[in-house]
Structure 1
Amino acid sequence: MKNIILVVDIETTGFLEEGGKIVEIGIVKLDLDSGEIYPAYNSLIKEPGFDDSHRKEPFGWIFRNSDLTFDEVMDAPTLESQREMIQFLFDKYPATAYNKDFDFSFLRDREFSINDLPCPMIILTDIMKLPSKKASIHFKWPSVKESWNYLFSEKLYSETHRGLTDATFEAKIVYRLYQIGQYELANPIQPSVKKLIPYNGRNGWGFKTIKGEIEINAIYNWVTPFIDGIAKVGIGDKIIYINEEAKEVESHPENLDIEKQSDFTVKDRYICDKNGERIAYLFYGHSTSFYCNRLCVFDQYGTYGFLDEKGEVAIELKYEYAESFSEELAAVKYGGKWGYINTGGQMVIPCSFNSAENFKNGLAKIDGNNFINKKGQIVAHSKLDWSEGLLCVDENWRYGYIGKNGKLVIPCKFDYAKSFSEGLAAVNKDSHWGFIDKHGKMIVELKYGVVHDFKEGFAGVRKEDWGFINRNGELLVDCIFNFVASFHEGLAAVCIKEGEKFKWGFIDINGEITIPCIYDDVISSFTDGIARVRYNNNENYINRKGEFIISIDYPSVCEIDKGLIPVRNDDNHWAFFDKTGRELTPFIFSIDEVHSIINGVNSYMDLLNNKDLIKEILKKHY
């Protein structure tokens, strides 16, 4: 599956706190695997209260600094008429914006729910270190133009202050950060129906309940989350499937998306057999694994092909781009168009598409939202991806679900529908949302204005305000919150309005507020017992008691990376802490040294155990 994120840019008449109005929203999809950027949404917006006063100070800046006119906005669609389309994108993909706080504060104030990613402007602030004119701030936030000139010195850039154009350039900035290893994504864990979640113990991986009780001991090298009661795990040199009683089972559900992998692997630029013996050295750039006995590689000219398990060229390096094999076919780009080859290198579906993804369940997505079978015939249309063995499709603006090879499972009879999550899918009729099971049976009646997907057995729902229901549709948490996020590790972020400000905290599965609503924002929900929050304009981590992991006196607490939390003091020196708040090193590093150290270790244990590294660091500074 492609690694897709959204990059958002909004244009407004002024600041949120001054009553500014959104006048344009542009959203692009960024494929972090290829760098390709696709328009996802672009529209002018007319909000309630937008009138002639927004031409004048303190408003109207956008009309004086772009080609957008007041009259164009007066004729624009309302935000409410566009809400479902925009929220659909936010439900499907994580998102960022160059100045995330500015853009997302408007969108969240308008009750959009966003799974947000790191802010590129904040990342570049630490990288560029532009001097600030304010004595209280070490470095200024770089403008989009300053960041562009820093990352793309050979290309000129002029900001247009139009949503889609600016979002496109800002997506290029994000992709360049991703290419140089400065933009990382967190992969959220999808829990099991029984609410078992993976945990990393002292001796390996296992599973625990959302209350933290160990259900399956940590004896595995690695695990995947449970789907339909089955998980894939590695133990010793074997890969097996277990049920929720930790018993090995022979089969696995189709929706685990198992690829036909080889016994051969790639390690330290060598092809190795299942015993780790080196077979051949790789002179090419390469993907990480063999699929269908073929390894996707590329040469110094950026030309792609495939090797066999002996390291010999099996399919000539002649393609402009290629994906790994999936279901015996690989997507390749030739002559500017995409098609599919088989493991023998024969072109079985001609290169005629503008975009192409891997085959899954007998179908592949091409040209945005069309799905073809292995004969190259278009058999379905969908804006979504496979989930739990089913794909939500639309036919004549009605939505239903298909299964493997395009077989219709649930008729196209809904006004709108989402992907399945934990065995249930949100569907809409006559502007009301409910949930169906995989047989199309209505489990939760159509009565809500907005819903989230089920996570850990609960789904956020909104009538006038937000609450939570269980899988039977019973309202377990009253609809009393302004916003809610999904449950993670038994806690869900919730938001209430205090005066003119929104404050965030956390509730447990009983609806009890276990962490008070005192935070300005929740940046990421709980993972491994900690959550990232914003408090008094500073970001930090809290534990399940709501206690700050790192002292709030420090001006900068960066995101955790390989178990390390970089922290900056008032003297602009950096140290490393672990997720318990333990100080691992003195405050002696520069930001460049922080990046070098993180890139040079696999985990915080490496930092603790690598005495030579520590000696070299201390020798340099003392």
Structure 2
Amino acid sequence: MHLSRSWRYKHPLTAVLAAGLIALAACFGLGGATAYADRWEIFDQGEHLLLPEGPIEVDGVVMVPLRSIAERFGYTFVSVNSKEIVLTHKEGRKAVIRLGTKTALLDYDGGAKVQLMAQIPRNYNGAWFIDLALAGALGGQGHSAVPGTNLIQLRPVSGDAKEQLERQYWFNFKDKGETVFVNNQGQLQLQTPYTSPLDFGYDDLLPVKKSGYTAGYMNRAGELAIDAPHYQLGRFSEGLAWFKDLVKTENGGVTVRMGYMNRAGKVIIPGIYNRAEDFSDGLAKVTRTGKTYYINHNGQMVIPPIPGLLNSESFSDGLAAVTVRTTAGGKSVLRTGFIDTAGKWAIKPVYDSATPFSEGVATATVNGKSGLIDTAGKWIVKPQYSGGSTFLGQFRDGHILLTLSGKHDYTHRLVDTKGKIITVPGTGEVTGFGDGIASYNDTGGYGFKTLAGQVIVKPMYSYFWDFTAGAGKGFIEYNDVYEAHLINKAGRVVWSTGMLE
């Protein structure tokens, strides 16, 4: 779903139209940054789509690149002007997308049908984006979000969509000196000498090493799709991945230089930064010569260094947590607030501290007491937890951990995005949550339960990874070696390794 800003033309006419598309972007004034909806996974007939860019999100509407979707569904470009984009289908149908409006005309059975869109078509860096309503209509079947997931289907699969799509999530294990990837059914998908500590997930490219050295990016066939022997590589996000090199200095020392490459392995933003983080919401946080700021996909500075900055985070939910030195009550103090993608204070710096937003909620502390806020800065849970009682981490799958301090010990509870404390029956120590399953700790180790208290796996694991895509990982230690299990929601071990050192 992520990709480079470069176009890959499949038809001669598309190349001719490229200049017109880019020029039209200036006409419509749509070349600025927008929120990228990188959290969405988009499928068509069960196939996970590697979109050339985006998807993006405009005022809550998910939009996808027109060219990729149109060509997938059998359309080619006929003409582009300031008023409309005309496409023809290989079966003779025509589609006319009216620019600047929320309407398109689609031919069905010889007659034209008006298709309404939730957002007007947008152009970013030369690529036109359409909303999912039009994308689904071009495919002939509409679109649908799989309930309770971040999975969107353009043309659906038959049967249980969630179950089928989640099978395309690949879990990573080390087994007998090789890396293996299995799906949530425990079916072996790939065995390779390349190594990575990361799940493949739904991605199509994964940074890997060989013999301890960074090799590049491996595809799902186990091939080294991008030969990129940098010191370190990041995952792709919004079509770009950071790379890190160690560069010799004039005095014989070594310094770090970071930049970004696209999915073709081409360096798009040169390695000039001392630090560089993943792109999110169309921007990346970078540091160069002691100055921290945010850049767009073209490497242009969008948000300059913030006065008084002590610390800042990457964007999430369209906001970035920023800590600055300011004045309160005549004293110099540190306060945290949130800026938007234009660099303006969306939530003023009034908190002692705050975490980045996740699923529309962030933790915030005032006068030593913690609570939860929404993206407007309104309290969902007023600041009331202090001392050893505090929120841990960020929201995941609608829940966050809350540590409550007692006289002699601590207890953990789950809190939902409305601020309601969830008590898992028969569980004294909740340790995590994912995919509807809570992890918990007992004298025998870690196990898994439903929120209703039904035991999925009795406490037996030395450590674990919470459930995602229908399965969780558990690791049992025997005298400094480990056995790894993949467990499904019925509590059955569907994959296991031998002993791991």
- The two structures have a TM-score, normalised by structure 2, of 0.46
Structure 1-normalised TM-score?
0.38
Q: Normalized per residue, which structure has more helix?
A: 1
Which of the pair is proportionally richer in strand?
2
